Chains A and B, each alone.
Chain A
Amino acid sequence: MKLAAEGLAKRFAGGVEALADVSIELAAGEFVSIVGPSGCGKSTLLAMLAGLLEPSAGRILLDGVAARDGVAARDGLLGRIGYMPQRDLLMEWRTTLQNATLGLELAGVARAAARERALAEVGRFGLAGFEDRRPSALSGGMRQRAALLRTFLAGRDMMVLDEPFGALDALTREAMREWLLGVWESDRKTILLVTHDVEEAVFLSDRVYVMSGRPGRIRTAVEVSLPRPRTLELTATPAFAELKARLLAPLREEARSALGSA
């Protein structure tokens, strides 16, 4: 297993229980998604995997090695997993390329070499011609691709992406999904994607975990054995619709009960 989380729980100071007993697995080169309603603790889970938050219980194994049980999980994981937060967090005081090469810069790669490696990727990431522009000159989709390029160039072979397309319009989202799939198929990095969009999860993934909220836990895991390479046309097939329905059922139940209890 590339990454395994076993019985992860997170209770924040003040007693809010964000996650309870979350276990997931990703084999090397797999694309796995987690879907769940907003506020189900998805972002908390990713922050723990990225080493930014300490789990209250459970352990995280990267390449089969526990990131030092419990207490020091944070030190063990920080900097080893590529992390793309929900917001692009591009810095306006840097050009697009300077934002993208942050990971290389922090790894001590010489400026010219980092620039060269980034320039080799701008075409594939749809940023050609915008290398030396400030982030404010980019469209929403381009900003997300720049943030993804920053994550890719950091060079980790395990990446966690937190709703990377959440802020984009529907058409751009679709195009970005197909594009991300293409990038993943050529690189075969291990990707864990968090989303609240079932269609996005099914279209991209080998396996989808469904989370329920407060406290967040894994409800079901659904294997997606649709053939690859996939194109957007796949979303119109009956097999796709069936998988979508299987994932939506527990989510709808969840949403109804949340409304009922409110």
Chain B
Amino acid sequence: MSTTGTRLALALGGRLEPRPHAAPGRRRGVVGRVLAPMVVGVLLLALWQSYVALSGVREGTFPSPLEVADALVRDRSLLLSSAWTTLSEILLGYGVAIVVGIALATAVSSSRLIERAIYPWLVVSQMIPIPAIAPVVVLWTGFDIRPKLIVIALVTFFPIAVNTIDGLRATDSELVGLLRTLGAGRLDVFRIARLPNALPYVFSGLRVSAAFAVIAAVFAEWVGSTSGLGVLILDYGNQAATADVFATVFVLALIGVALFAAVGIVERLAVPWWQVEQ
């Protein structure tokens, strides 16, 4: 569906405007959501398979989908245990990013002074080239899960923080005035108006970050790790086991899509009013 397409495209750009959920059309829902991407997927696979078969390219250079599927089955136990490693890194790092991102956004939006003091440094944190500092982080913390958490959190907190700040700021100032005439203090205004108003924005940030988290995890593992899907990609790459590399990438993509979808499901539960607006 087009909204999913734009969301993905925007996600790669790093910023999403919150928008209401698409109206759940009865037939179009199922056809659009499941069937359409499936058809495209099958078409692409068929194209890929026939290219490999017709061009006679070697498996080590460019494996066919069937060879990748073969690798998936062959490597399944290693893939599964590595996926678990990477998934836990992602979930923990992402969790830290959510807490830190929302906490920072709340602080920034609570006062002009704090905003001026902190906001520039949030931006600066994104100027840090991760490849440059990742080895240093490993040097500080060792080869356990900590450097991965730090790298993933560093990459993913920013979209969450920026979108949350936007959402908290976007609260209607007349509504704030009205609440104050009804006796609301700053905390009441935050709880009653600012926070619920910011939720759709928060989820926009979460979706962007979900996509980044997977890439960040792979990178963090490349710098210093002994297990995980990122490590597996390096190992298979060194052995020129191309089909196995593709299989690993496929599992990574599955994790990314699942994370993205999970955020969407939580959003629908947490922001039910967003569907009917407009």
A160 CB, min distance to chain B CBs, angstroms: 9
Residues in A neighbouring B188, C-beta threshold 8 A: 106
The answer to whether B276 and A136 have CB atoms under 8 Å apart is yes
The answer to whether A136 and B277 have CB atoms under 8 Å apart is yes
CA gap between A162 and B10 in the complex, in Å:
41
Residues in A neighbouring B181, C-beta threshold 8 A: 50-52, 78-79, 81-83
B257 CB, min distance to chain A CBs, angstroms: 29
Residues in B neighbouring A173, C-beta threshold 8 A: none
A78 CB, min distance to chain B CBs, angstroms: 6
CB closest residue in chain B, given A136:
B276
A-B contact count (CB 8 A): 58
A102 CB, min distance to chain B CBs, angstroms: 6
Interface residues of A in 9-28 (CB under 8 A from B): none
Interface residues of A in 71-128 (CB under 8 A from B): 78-79, 81-83, 85, 87, 89, 91-93, 102-103, 106-107
CA gap between A176 and B262 in the complex, in Å:
46
Q: In which size bucket is the chain B interface?
A: 20 to 34
Instruction: Let me know if A134 is at the binding interface, CB within 8 A.
Output: yes
CA gap between A79 and B180 in the complex, in Å:
7
Instruction: Let me know if A3 is at the binding interface, CB within 8 A.
Output: no
Instruction: Let me know if A47 is at the binding interface, CB within 8 A.
Output: yes
Instruction: Let me know if B69 is at the binding interface, CB within 8 A.
Output: no
The DSSP consensus for interface residues of chain B is helix
The answer to whether A83 and B184 have CB atoms under 8 Å apart is no
CA gap between A150 and B192 in the complex, in Å:
15
B195 CB, min distance to chain A CBs, angstroms: 9
CA gap between A50 and B181 in the complex, in Å:
7
The answer to whether B174 and A85 have CB atoms under 8 Å apart is yes
Residues in A neighbouring B24, C-beta threshold 8 A: none
Residues in B neighbouring A85, C-beta threshold 8 A: 174, 177-178
Cβ contact of B182, chosen from A93, A134, A154, cutoff 8 A: A154
CB closest residue in chain B, given A81:
B181
The answer to whether B180 and A91 have CB atoms under 8 Å apart is no
Residues in A neighbouring B276, C-beta threshold 8 A: 92, 134, 136-137
CB closest residue in chain B, given A154:
B182
CB closest residue in chain B, given A95:
B273
CA gap between A244 and B196 in the complex, in Å:
45
The answer to whether B196 and A91 have CB atoms under 8 Å apart is yes
B200 CB, min distance to chain A CBs, angstroms: 10
Residues in A neighbouring B177, C-beta threshold 8 A: 47, 50, 52, 85
The answer to whether A79 and B172 have CB atoms under 8 Å apart is no
Instruction: Let me know if B91 is at the binding interface, CB within 8 A.
Output: no
The answer to whether B182 and A103 have CB atoms under 8 Å apart is yes
Residues in B neighbouring A92, C-beta threshold 8 A: 273, 276-277
Residues in B neighbouring A106, C-beta threshold 8 A: 179, 182-184, 188
Known contacts: A52-B181, A79-B182, A106-B188. The answer to whether A91 contacts B277 by CB under 8 A is no
Instruction: Let me know if B253 is at the binding interface, CB within 8 A.
Output: no
The answer to whether B178 and A89 have CB atoms under 8 Å apart is yes
CA gap between A85 and B176 in the complex, in Å:
11
Residues in B neighbouring A103, C-beta threshold 8 A: 182-183
CA gap between A107 and B188 in the complex, in Å:
11
Cβ contact of A52, chosen from B180, B184, B199, B273, cutoff 8 A: B180
The chain B residues found within 8 Å of chain A, CB to CB, are: 172, 174-175, 177-184, 188, 192-193, 196-197, 199, 271, 273, 276-277
Closest 4 CB pairs of A and B: A93-B196, A83-B181, A106-B183, A92-B273
The chain A residues found within 8 Å of chain B, CB to CB, are: 47, 50-52, 78-79, 81-83, 85, 87, 89, 91-93, 102-103, 106-107, 134, 136-137, 150, 154
Q: List 28 A-B contacts (CB under 8 A).
A: A50-B177, A51-B180, A78-B180, A78-B181, A79-B180, A81-B181, A82-B181, A83-B178, A85-B177, A85-B178, A87-B174, A89-B175, A91-B175, A91-B192, A91-B196, A92-B273, A93-B197, A102-B192, A103-B183, A106-B179, A106-B182, A106-B184, A106-B188, A107-B183, A134-B273, A134-B276, A136-B277, A154-B182
Beyond A83-B181, A106-B179, A136-B276: 19 further Cβ-contacts under 8 Å?
Answer: A51-B181, A78-B180, A79-B181, A85-B174, A85-B177, A87-B174, A91-B175, A91-B192, A92-B277, A93-B196, A93-B197, A93-B271, A102-B179, A103-B182, A106-B182, A106-B183, A106-B188, A107-B183, A137-B276
